[in-house]
Amino acid sequence: MKIALVQTNTVVGDIDGNLKKILKGMNKAREGGASLAIFHEMTLLGYPPRDLLELPYLVDRNRMAVEKVAQAATDMAVLVGFVERNPDKVGKPLFNSAAWCEGGEIKKIFRKSLLPSYDVFDETRYFEPGPVRDTIDYQGRIWGVSICEDIWNDPDFWDRRLYSRDPITELVGKGSEILVNISASPYSIGKFNSRRDMISALARRHNVPVVYVNQVGGNDELVFDGGSMVIGPEGNLVALAPFFKEGVTVVDLADSQTALTPVVDDMTLLEEALVFGLRDYVKKCGFKKVALGLSGGIDSALTATLAVKAVGAANVLGLLMPSCYSSRHSLSDAKDLAKNLKIATKEISINPMHSAFEKTFRKMFGRKKTDTTEENVQARIRGNLLMAVSNKLGHLVLSTGNKSELAVGYCTLYGDMSGGLAVISDLPKTMVYKLARYINQKKEIIPPACLTKPPSAELKPNQFDADSLPPYEILDGIIKVYVEDLRSEEEIIKMGYEKGVVRKVIRMINSNEYKRRQAAPGLRVTSKAFGMGRRFPIACRI
């Protein structure tokens, strides 16, 4: 039997557009000789829909679209994700469901049992858990269907489980000979390996093949990597669909031979995730061109490089905005980068505007000592110029700050934080350098000086990041264990970090939540990103 793993890049809320993609995927599956086409979680509405789920008319349209899928499934079976109303008057109003369509009708509906409400997920806000799992008989085999989180609770794989129920064991107990999981599992660094290992362990435990179909594409901060797969009953990889690419992968279930396992390089996937997420954000938000400030530093250099890969050099505009504190090499490095990338640039000195502000400040503040007020206004001038380009020319402004800066507040509200998307805001500074060097291995794009010179905001004479922050190797290590691993101050100090440095960094992280709340959305690539994945109060004391 041939089945099709169909990876679609859906647009949240675009039911008509998503339906067209489903019908197109079905046709490609037919052409490949598949008798069953399997789509990902919530295919028709797109994931995550968030509070679009509170719009009754959208839920109704999504349900009517399922009927159209069923009507097209006359000569094949189709498994597609959708949102279903809960007919009971008790419980949440919706189910996260999957429809098995066959013979021109909806033959069976499956409902998600385990509803994640951690990190970037908030499904208990909208959905009622499904009942005991059920199966379907298709072409003489019993198929057990589950949805995303239902597969992430194997008691033999996890040291700590989040749920008491194990839907997969329930499905196997009902005689399932093939397990299917339709998913919308977002990318993070290293996620594919853990996902594959988990599914392999589950297949071995129950001695059944597992078919896993994952969403692909960028939706706001989340990037979905695809990587749909078939795992044999012995835990062997039988088939693997491409990462970050729409398409139909046809697999013959009669062939359980181990596929050639590709080398899954974390840096390759990271680059693809950022490029794909940026491209989809621009396209799905209705933009065609982007603009960003080019300072000659590594952050703007990496962001510009990713932007060119995402939308093309002709659609990227770099603004060079030197001040009296800008070094000569910063300007030349920015120009060299632009030349390597073949992007258009505009050079605008901020000195006249900065001088006007300083004159006004002297009238406002008298003889008060110069401090960050005068420094930050330079960043805000640059932010205003970038936003003017956005308003006048219709470009999406990309902010260029990294995770290290965002963590400790080493960034300026309404200045370098201005923009519609923060492309590398989930990349620690050390990872910024690592990814930049990786990109340069293939072709030297980023000027070597950007990788070797000490980082500086250049807002006052002889200013360097190291004047205000610990070395980035130390800073990023503390941020990782505090923000991502949730370790306490005492635990971090016991790891060997200096007490005073740990306390300073933690204080800076906690006191700058107000800035992060006002930051542009950023692409999530680590296990714990600022934004929707970390919901801390602003006014708190910990």
Cα-Cα-Cα-Cα dihedral sign, residues 176, 180, 186, 189: positive
For 439, how many CA atoms within 13 A lie in the half-sphere containing its CB?
27
How many Cβ atoms are within 10 Å of 355's Cβ, its own excluded?
Answer: 11
Which residue among the candidates 21, 112, 309, 403 is catalytic per the annotation?
Answer: 112
What distance in Å separates the CA atoms of residue 373 and residue 361, rounded to the nearest whole number? Answer: 9
Instruction: For residue 41, indicate whether it is catalytic.
Output: yes
Residue 291 is encoded by which pair of tokens?
Answer: 């603009």
Q: CA-CA distance, 411 to 286, in Å (whole number)?
A: 28
Beta strands in 312-437 (DSSP E): 316-320, 344-347, 396-399, 421-422
* 451/486 Cα distance (integer angstroms): 31
Sequence-ordered strand ranges (E) for 72-116: 77-85, 94-102, 105-111
Q: Give the C-alpha separation, 127 to 92, whole Å.
A: 5
Q: How far apart are CA 393 and CA 396, in angstroms?
A: 9
Tokens of 5: 């793993």
Known catalytic residue: 480?
no
Neighbours of 228 (CB within 10 A): 28
| CA–CA dist 341, 260 (Å, integer) | 36
Given 148, 271, 289, 411, which residue is catalytic?
A: 148
- Cross-strand partners of 216: 225
Q: Within the chain, what is the greatest distance between any pair of CA atoms?
A: 87
Considering the candidates 41, 128, 149, 221, report the single residue annotated as catalytic. Answer: 41
- Give the C-alpha separation, 47 to 42, whole Å: 6
Q: What are phi and psi of 230, to 5 degrees?
A: -120, 125
Is residue 494 part of the annotated active site? The answer reads no
Cα(30)–Cα(472) distance, rounded to whole angstroms?
53
Which are the catalytic amino acids? Answer: 41, 112, 148
